[in-house]
Structure 1
Amino acid sequence: MNVEHLKLFIRVAATHNISQAGAELGLSPAVASAHINKLEEGLGVRLIHRTTRKVSLTEEGKGFLPHAEEVLSSVEAARASVGVGKGLPSGTLRVSASASFGRMHLVPAMKGFLSSYPDLNVDLRLSDSIIDMVEGGFDIAIRIAELKDSTLIARKLASDNRIVCASPGYLAKYGEPESPDDLVNHCCLSLMGLDHWSFDAPDGQLTIKAKGNFRTDNGEAVRDACVEGLGVAIASTWSVYQQLRKGELVQVLQDYPLMSDTAVWAVYPSSRLLAPKVRAFIDYYTQCFSSPAYWD
């Protein structure tokens, strides 16, 4: 059984397109189609349904897919165990991360990672949208969220400590809120999807609905608007630590910590074997962000 044929089949299963899957592996549509035919002939079963628009897995293909993935993981682990060059991770590691966190914390440390693994290439995609890891062909994704039930495996890289802050200029003009209830008299800068702010108050959880004249889908935009004195905002310390140190922002409501279970997670598809390149990435950045993280 040809390992390259298995790689192609797995990408076809994710993309539902033989030509696209072949292009990702440097194969022409004709060669990719021939490889799939050879795989099916070797197994003696049809793995995919072909139409003029897309392909889909047969029942046999669906049953074969997890075994194909396991074989590839085993081959990669076996190659690393016996050397294959220097025994270091090689090939291409496809990573997805939030735009802000990726630019601020992944990219600056990338030089050290690539220096440690010279045979490894990194394909980093930055987006604030949640991507489908399997369909996108990603090996790992960095997500900043609460950990929920998932078919993905997650490893915590760092805490995501969130605070309420404002610029000194804004506070000088409008005063500092003494309690979460005071926020009704302030302009709250909202990140879309984070309109309700929950605090740990003496009498239990206190939730307020943020109201203001500016909201956006980008965390850096919220931070920059806060620096400019547009209002009060919730921000992750990894995003505003430099502004706090410079005095451009000030933490407020310190006696009322925000209630949040978010963290910086490295997630990857479930598998019995963790690919060496994925393990190397997780171990490296776990060390980079070791507790307490440098931004805290």
Structure 2
Amino acid sequence: MNVEHLKLFVRLASSQSISMAGQELGLSPAVASSHINKLEESLGVRLVHRTTRKVSITAEGRAFLPYAEEVLASVEAAKGAVGVGHSNPTGTLRVTAPASFGRMHLIPAMNGFMQRYPELNIEFRFSDSIIDMVEGGFDVAIRAAELKDSSLVARKLAPDRRIVVASPAYLNQFGAPEKPQDLVNHQCINLIGLDNWTFKTNEGVVSVKTSGRLRCDNGDAMRDATTGGLGISINSIWSVYKQLKSGELLEILQDYPLAMEANIWAVYPSSRLIALKVRAFIDYFSEYYGQPAYWENELNDVNPS
């Protein structure tokens, strides 16, 4: 079984296009099609449905895909273990991440990362939706949500502490809530579908159903609306630390922490061996964010304990 044929099949499963998958590997459409034919002949099954308009993966192809990915990951890890290419990762690393976090805390770090690994190409997809890693052909996913897929391996990169914030203009006009229950009398800006805010109190956990005239499906938009005085919102420290530092936003209800334990995770498909490029990415960003994360440190410098 040819490793290059496996690479092509994995890319094809993601792109749903033989010509596009071949182009990414420097192959003409004719050569790419020939490689897929040879892989199917070696296995004795049809992996791809071909029509004049598109291609799709067969049931056998979907069953074969995770094994092909594991073989490729093992080959890359084995090369690194014996010093092939001086143990430097090569090829293309495909990463998916939440849009806001990606723009704020991945892109600014890429100059240093790409200088450290000059033979590695990076392909990002930023989306606030949870994307299927295997189906999308991604090597790493950055997640700031509850992890439910047991077939994935996760490594914590940084805490994702979340707080309740409002602008000075809003608080001057409407006052600050003194306890969580007071939020029912305020304009609250929610991410769509997340209307219940849960707090830790001396009496136990308290859940408040909040409401307001504005709802958003994007964290950046919610933060900016809050900064503009349109209401109160829950935000991650990594999203609002600059506004907190400048005084554009203020933390409120500090005596009632939110009842959520969130973290920033790097997630990758389960495999006996982790690919060298995946390890390089995770190690770099774990070091880059630091312990505690740099966004927490910036606030500590402003408000030392």
TM-score, length-scaled by structure 2: 0.90
Q: 1:227 to 1:54 in 2, by over 3 A?
A: same
Deviation at 1:208, TM superposition (A): 1.1
Q: Which amino acid aligns with 1:184?
A: V
2:40 pairs with 1:46: no
Deviation at 1:235, TM superposition (A): 0.6
Q: Which amino acid aligns with 2:292?
A: P
Q: 1:246 to 1:65 in 2, by over 3 A?
A: closer
Structure 2 residues without counterparts, runs of 5 or longer:
297-305
Deviation at 1:64, TM superposition (A): 4.2
Task: Determine what percentage of the aligned residue pairs are the same residue.
Answer: 63
Deviates more, 1:203-212 or 1:273-282: 203-212
Deviation at 1:17, TM superposition (A): 4.6
Secondary structure of the residue that 1:255 maps to in structure 2? coil
Deviates more, 1:125-134 or 1:203-212: 125-134
Taking the TM superposition and a 5 Å limit, the aligned residue runs for 1:171-210 are: 171-210=171-210
* Number of residue equivalences: 294
Deviation at 1:51, TM superposition (A): 4.2
Q: Distance between the aligned counterparts of 1:190 and 1:91, measured in 2? A: 41
Secondary structure of the residue that 2:45 maps to in structure 1? coil
Does the 8 Å CA contact 1:46/1:58 hold for their aligned counterparts? no
Secondary structure of the residue that 1:69 maps to in structure 2? helix
Structure 1 residues without counterparts, runs of 5 or longer:
none
Does the 8 Å CA contact 2:74/2:274 hold for their aligned counterparts? no
Taking the TM superposition and a 5 Å limit, the aligned residue runs for 1:89-168 are: 89-168=89-168
Q: Which amino acid aligns with 2:138?
A: F
- Which residue of structure 1 lines up, in the alignment, with residue 303 of structure 2? none
Secondary structure of the residue that 2:86 maps to in structure 1? coil
Q: Which amino acid aligns with 2:246?
A: K
Secondary structure of the residue that 1:164 maps to in structure 2? strand
Q: Distance between the aligned counterparts of 1:107 and 1:289, measured in 2? A: 13
Secondary structure of the residue that 1:243 maps to in structure 2? helix
Q: Which amino acid aligns with 1:233?
A: S
Cα deviation 1:59-102 (Å, max 9, x = unaligned): 4x555444433321222112222333332111111111111111
Q: 1:66 to 1:188 in 2, by over 3 A?
A: closer
Q: Distance between the aligned counterparts of 1:17 and 1:119, measured in 2? A: 26
Deviation at 1:126, TM superposition (A): 1.5
Q: 1:135 to 1:58 in 2, by over 3 A?
A: closer
Secondary structure of the residue that 1:85 maps to in structure 2? helix
Q: Distance between the aligned counterparts of 1:62 and 1:145, measured in 2? A: 27
Q: 1:236 to 1:49 in 2, by over 3 A?
A: closer
Q: Which amino acid aligns with 1:126?
A: F
Does the 8 Å CA contact 1:15/1:135 hold for their aligned counterparts? no
TM-score, length-scaled by structure 1: 0.92
Deviation at 1:13, TM superposition (A): 4.0
Q: 1:62 to 1:214 in 2, by over 3 A?
A: closer
